[in-house]
C-alpha cells in the first residue's frame, strides 16, 4: 500500500515493538496515524535473542502460540571456571520466560496497530525530517524508489539502534563504542540442551565485556549468541569469530540454520527524548537495559506511554516539547531508577577479570535463588562482596 494522504496527526518511523505499540495506542486514542517501515517485511531479518519475561509481555499482548517458540523455567549463570548458579524469577514454579519468534511477533504487533486504525506502509524509509519554525512538521521519505514528503503534527522515531530521526532533529544519539554491545547469534538445530533453562556464560575468553547466551527455541534447537563491548571488538576476535569457536566446541554436531548479527545500546537512556513535534521511543531513545541488553519490553512500555501522550497532545492542539515532555517524565518515573542501577552494575562488570567473576559466582554458590528476581540476586551479590562491589552499595540497599 502507498501512503495516500500527505498529512497525518502522527507519523511513526520504524515498525519494531516500539513503533507498533506506539501506533496501536495512538490510533486507539483517536489519532490519525501512519507507521512506516523501511524493510519490505516487518520483523525480518531478526536482530535479537528473543528472550522475554512472561508476566511482562502479558501486560501488552495476550500470548499467542504462533509467536512463542519456547517457554523456560529459569536461568543458569556460568562463571568462567564453569561454576553455576540457578535463577528463576517465579515463586509458584511455573514457566517464567518465553523465547519469541520475533519475525512473527513483530508482525503480530504491527497488525494489532493496523486493526486499531493505524495506516502501515512498508518499504518506506525516512530520509530526513521537515523542520519549520523550530517544530518538526513531518518527514521526507523514499517509498518504493520514489521520494515523498509526509507531513504530521508529531513525528515519532521508533527507528531502533540505527536511529537517525533524533539526530536529524538535533538530538545527539551517537553511541560511543563502549556504549554498544555488538553481537552475533546462531540458531543451532539438533542439539542436546535443557529446554527448560536459559544459560548465560561469563568470561573474557567467551565474551569480553559481555556474555554468551543459550536460549531454548524448542524442538532440540536454541538461539546461541554472544555480545561484547563495542570497544573491545577487534579483527579476529569479533562476535562472529568468538561464537564460531564456542559453537564448534560445544555443539560439534549442531546445524546452524540462521545467522543473526546486531548491536544493542547499553548507554542508558538519552538525556532528552522529545523536542518540539518529535518523540523518540525504544532503542532509538537508548531505552534498552544496559546490563542485560533486553529492550523489547522497555520499547513496548515506552510505546504505550508515548502513544497516549501523543494522542492527548494532538487533541489539545499542543505538540510543543513542554507538552510532549510528559511522556519522558512518566517513562523515567517507571524505568529510570532501574536502568540507572543496571548501568552502574554494567560499568562495574566490564572492569572485572575472570577471577573476579569466579569469586562473585562462588560467593553465592548454594544459595537458593529460585524465588528471587535479578534485582534481589544483585542485592545478595553486593552484600556478599562488599569490597569488590563497593561502588554499587548505595544502589542496592
Partner 1 sequence: MIGVNRYKCGYCGACVSVCPIGAVELVETWIEIADDCTECGTCAGVCPIGALEVLK
Ligand X SMILES: Cc1cc2nc3c(=O)[nH]c(=O)nc-3n(C[C@H](O)[C@H](O)[C@H](O)COP(=O)(O)OP(=O)(O)OC[C@H]3O[C@@H](n4cnc5c(N)ncnc54)[C@H](O)[C@@H]3O)c2cc1C
End-to-end CA distance of the chain: 54
Residue 282 binding partner per list ligand X, partner 1, none, with a CB distance cut-off of 5 to 8 Å that depends on partner kind: ligand X
Residue with cell 509481555: 57
Residue 234 beta carbon to partner 1: minimum distance, rounded to whole angstroms: 8
Q: Residue from 27, 36, 161, 187 that binds partner 1 (CB under 8 A)? A: 161
As a residue count, the chain comes to 397
Q: Which of residues 192-211 bind partner 1 (CB under 8 A)?
A: none
- Indicate the residue among 262 and 392 with the shorter CB distance to ligand X: 262
Which residue among 227, 233, 279, 310 contacts ligand X (CB under 6 A)? 227
- Interaction with partner 1 in 206-245: which residues (CB under 8 A)? 230-231, 233-235, 238-240
Q: Is 163 in the site for partner 1 (CB under 8 A)?
A: yes
Q: Please state, in angstroms and as integers, the Cα–Cα distance from residue 173 to each residue in 218, 268, 286, following that order.
A: 37, 11, 8
- As measured in angstroms, the least distance from the Cβ of 353 to ligand X is 24
Q: Is 60 helix (H, G, I), strand (E, B) or coil?
A: coil
Q: Residue with the closest Cβ to ligand X? A: 295
Residue 294's binding partner, choosing from ligand X, partner 1, none, with beta-carbon cut-off 5 to 8 A by kind?
A: ligand X
Strand partners, 148: 141
Residues 167-226 that bind ligand X (CB under 6 A): 183, 185, 225
Does 80 bind ligand X (CB under 6 A)? Our answer is: no
Q: Which residue has the cell 510528559?
A: 326
Q: How many CA atoms lie within 13 A of 48 on its CB side?
A: 25
How far is the C-alpha of 146 from the C-alpha of 267, rounded, in Å?
36
Q: What is the CA radius of gyration of the chain?
A: 21
Nearer to ligand X, 44 or 64 (CB): 44
Verify binding: residue 287, partner 1, rule CB under 8 A. Answer: no
Q: How far apart are CA 178 and CA 231, in angstroms?
A: 5
103 φ/ψ angles, rounded to the nearest 5 degrees: -55, -40
Q: How far is the CB of 260 from partner 1 (least distance, A)?
A: 7
Please identify which residue in 11, 12, 23, 36 interacts with ligand X, judged by CB under 6 A: 36
For position 19 contacting partner 1 by CB under 8 A, the verdict is no
Q: CA-to-CA distance for 311 and 27, rounded, in angstroms?
A: 8
CB 270 within 8 A of CB 253: no
Q: Shortest gap between Cβ of 360 and ligand X (angstroms)?
A: 22
Bond preceding residue 314 cis, omega within 30 of 0 = no
CA nearest neighbour of 29 among 132, 118, 146 = 118
**Minimum CB distance to ligand X, residue 296 (Å):** 3
The neighbouring-strand residues paired with 181 are: 229, 264
The residue within the footprint of ligand X, chosen from 10, 11, 12, 18 (CB under 6 A), is: 18
Q: How many Å apart are CA 157 and CA 299, to the nearest integer? A: 12
- What's the number of CA atoms in the CB half-sphere (13 Å) around residue 199? 21
The binding site for partner 1 (CB under 8 A) comprises 38-40, 45, 47, 123, 125, 160-164, 167, 173-177, 180, 182-184, 230-231, 233-235, 238-240, 259-263, 265
The binding site for ligand X (CB under 6 A) comprises 13-19, 36-39, 47-52, 125-126, 158-162, 164, 183, 185, 225, 227, 262-264, 282-284, 288, 293-297, 299
Amino acid at each position: 500500500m502507498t501512503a495516500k494522504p500527505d498529512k497525518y496527526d502522527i507519523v511513526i518511523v520504524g515498525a519494531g515493538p516500539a513503533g507498533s505499540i506506539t501506533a496501536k495506542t495512538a490510533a486507539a486514542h483517536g489519532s490519525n496515524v501512519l507507521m512506516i517501515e523501511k524493510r519490505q517485511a516487518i520483523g525480518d531479518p531478526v536482530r535479537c535473542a528473543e528472550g522475554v519475561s512472561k508476566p511482562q509481555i502479558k501486560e501488552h499482548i495476550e500470548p499467542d502460540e504462533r509467536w512463542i517458540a519456547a517457554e523456560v523455567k529459569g536461568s543458569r549463570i556460568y562463571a568462567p571456571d564453569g561454576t553455576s548458579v540457578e535463577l528463576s524469577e517465579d515463586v509458584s514454579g511455573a514457566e517464567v520466560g518465553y523465547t519469541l519468534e520475533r519475525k512473527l511477533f513483530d508482525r503480530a504487533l504491527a497488525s494489532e496497530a493496523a486493526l486499531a486504525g493505524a495506516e502501515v506502509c512498508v518499504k518506506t524509509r525516512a530520509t530526513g525530517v521537515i523542520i519549520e519554525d523550530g517544530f518538526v512538521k513531518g518527514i521526507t521519505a523514499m517509498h518504493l524508489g520514489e521520494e515523498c514528503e509526509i507531513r504530521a503534527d508529531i513525528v515519532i522515531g521508533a527507528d531502533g539502534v540505527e536511529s537517525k530521526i533524533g539526530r536529524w532533529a538535533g538530538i545527539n544519539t551517537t553511541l560511543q563504542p563502549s556504549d554498544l554491545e555488538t553481537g552475533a547469534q546462531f540458531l543451532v538445530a539438533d542439539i542436546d540442551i535443557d529446554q527448560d533453562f536459559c544459560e548465560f556464560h561469563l568470561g573474557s575468553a567467551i565474551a569480553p565485556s559481555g556474555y554468551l547466551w543459550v536460549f531454548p527455541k524448542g524442538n532440540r534447537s536454541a538461539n546461541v549468541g554472544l555480545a561484547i563491548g563495542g570497544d573491545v571488538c577487534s579483527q579476529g576476535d569479533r562476535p562472529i569469530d568468538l561464537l564460531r569457536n564456542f559453537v564448534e566446541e560445544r555443539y560439534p554436531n549442531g546445524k546452524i540454520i540462521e545467522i543473526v548479527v546486531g548491536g544493542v545500546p547499553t548507554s542508558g537512556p538519552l538525556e532528552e527524548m522529545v523536542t518540539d513535534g518529535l518523540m523518540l521511543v525504544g532503542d532509538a531513545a537508548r531505552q534498552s537495559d544496559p546490563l542485560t541488553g533486553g529492550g523489547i519490553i522497555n520499547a513496548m512500555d515506552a510505546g504505550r506511554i508515548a502513544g497516549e501522550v501523543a494522542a492527548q497532545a494532538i487533541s489539545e492542539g499542543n505538540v510543543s516539547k513542554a507538552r510532549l515532555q510528559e511522556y519522558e517524565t512518566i517513562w523515567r518515573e517507571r524505568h529510570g531508577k532501574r536502568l540507572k542501577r543496571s548501568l552502574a552494575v554494567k560499568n562495574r562488570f566490564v572492569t572485572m577479570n575472570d577471577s573476579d567473576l569466579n569469586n562473585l559466582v562462588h560467593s553465592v554458590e548454594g544459595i537458593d535463588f529460585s524465588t528471587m528476581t535479578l534485582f534481589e540476586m544483585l542485592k545478595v551479590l553486593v552484600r556478599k562482596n562488599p569490597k569488590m562491589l563497593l561502588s554499587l552499595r548505595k544502589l542496592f540497599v
